[in-house]
Amino acid sequence: MMLSASFAALLSLLHVATAQTTTASAPTATSTVALNNAAKAAGKLYFGTATDNPELTDTAYVAILNNTNMFGQLTPGNSMKWDAIEPEQNVFDFTGGDQIADLAEATGKIIRGHNLVWYSQLPTWVSSGTWTTETLTAVIQNHVTTEVSHYAGKMYAWDVINEPFNDDGTFRTDVFYNTLGSDYISIALTAARAADPNAKLYINDYNLEYSGAKIDAMVQLVTDLKAADVPIDGIGFESHFILGEVDASSLQTNMESLTALGVEVAITELDDRIELPATDADLEQQKADYESVVGVCMAVSGCVGVTIWDYTDKYSWIPSTFSGYGEACPWDENLVPKPAYDGIVLGFQS
Ligand SMILES: *[C@@H]1O[C@H](CO)[C@@H](O)[C@H](O)[C@H]1NC(C)=O
């Protein structure tokens, strides 16, 4: 059947429009090695990803997520945070958290629980409550004990404390610190250990990847907790990088400063955001950045694994948080692996 000339012209226009909006010519990954397999072959415990409950209705997304050769570990992006788990005092809802824990279990993945005590995504009954030392201690103990007990035996690790420091190394002033000083940290860690003695207990923060006051403060905190016999097993380096700003030397030095104190470390929320529009050269730099970060984890024996903050640009938190930036993940928004994927493989093979 012949197409009319005008219909054929329209089709041709549509074709051009489609090609331009899907960046069909952007470079893609060439490696056929699956990432968790690469991590394990390199002696690491896992390569993993964050995920979130609304994404689990996307079957193309879940098909890749389910592949345990690709991802050996999951972190729930939101559904184990305080506002989701205990939205009203002593009213617990594990629905969303259980969905991700069950998926991890069904597909043979380990889980990093995320997170127990954080200033953000905190229900107002906590953040705006009127507390004494005694009442807020009891609230923290009840929250941590109930949540950690619920998942006891299922968690590789918990981010017990999330983002306790300002970038200048002072403690973040939130309801916990303002009421209890830094004691809230030991209160939460002690309760978590009692509720699940087998889970690794972490403190997780960002901007620990560079030299300066923040990493110094974290090293001091771990030193102090160890001296006081407070349980602490690991420090999470969130690793939300900006393209071209990975400082591998500082990252390695900082990880080693912590592992020297007897804790393990992990890359917990890796992504690498690009100022849009991303060029082919940007995607090559991103490949180098991912390779460099994974290479540091390889160089530090106490670095147990690497978690990316979701695997695809389709569900990345970056565009809505950092205006003008995006394409931070190793898979593009069409679930096609980018050169960054090859960088991760090369990092594990270094
Ligand atoms: C993913 O794994 C879960 C648990 O085994 C299964 O119920 C689901 O159908 C899988 N989804 C896809 C898209 O493979």
User: pLDDT tens, 176-198?
Assistant: 999 999 999 999 999 999 999 99
What residues form DSSP beta bridges with 73? 48, 110
Residues annotated as catalytic are 163, 269
Ligand 1 atom nearest the C-alpha of 107 is: 5
Please, where are the H alpha helices in the chain?
A: 5-21, 35-41, 59-66, 82-85, 95-106, 124-127, 133-150, 175-180, 183-195, 213-227, 248-259, 280-299, 318-321, 339-348
Three-state SS at 182 = coil
If you take atom 12 of ligand 1, which residue's CA is the nearest one? 63
pLDDT band at 245 (very low <50, low <70, confident <90, very high): very high
pTM over 0.75: yes
Asked whether 66 lines ligand 1 (CB < 6 A), one says: yes
Asked whether 57 lines ligand 1 (CB < 6 A), one says: no
What mean pLDDT do residues 225-243 have? 98
Question: What is the chain's mean pLDDT, rounded?
Answer: 94
Three-state SS at 340 = helix
Ligand 1 atom nearest the C-alpha of 103 is: 4
Indicate if the pLDDT at residue 332 is higher than 70. yes
Ligand 1 atom nearest the C-alpha of 59 is: 13
Return the residue matching tokens 């593009």.
332
**Which domains does the chain show, CATH number per domain?**
37-348 (3.20.20.80)
pLDDT score, position 17: 40
pLDDT score, position 25: 81
pLDDT band at 9 (very low <50, low <70, confident <90, very high): very low
If you take atom 2 of ligand 1, which residue's CA is the nearest one? 66
pLDDT score, position 22: 47
Asked whether 63 lines ligand 1 (CB < 6 A), one says: yes
Give CA–CA dist 153/318, Å, rounded: 33
Q: What percent of the chain has pLDDT over 70?
A: 93
pLDDT score, position 23: 52
Indicate if the pLDDT at residue 3 is higher than 60. no
Asked whether 106 lines ligand 1 (CB < 6 A), one says: yes
The model's pLDDT over 122-152, given as tens digits with 9 standing for 90+, comes to 999 999 999 999 999 999 999 999 999 999 9
Give CA–CA dist 36/45, Å, rounded: 9
- Taking the centre of ligand 1 as the mean of its atom positions, its distance from the CA of residue 103, in whole angstroms, is 8
Give CA–CA dist 190/201, Å, rounded: 10
pLDDT band at 50 (very low <50, low <70, confident <90, very high): very high
- Taking the centre of ligand 1 as the mean of its atom positions, its distance from the CA of residue 237, in whole angstroms, is 30
Asked whether 10 lines ligand 1 (CB < 6 A), one says: no
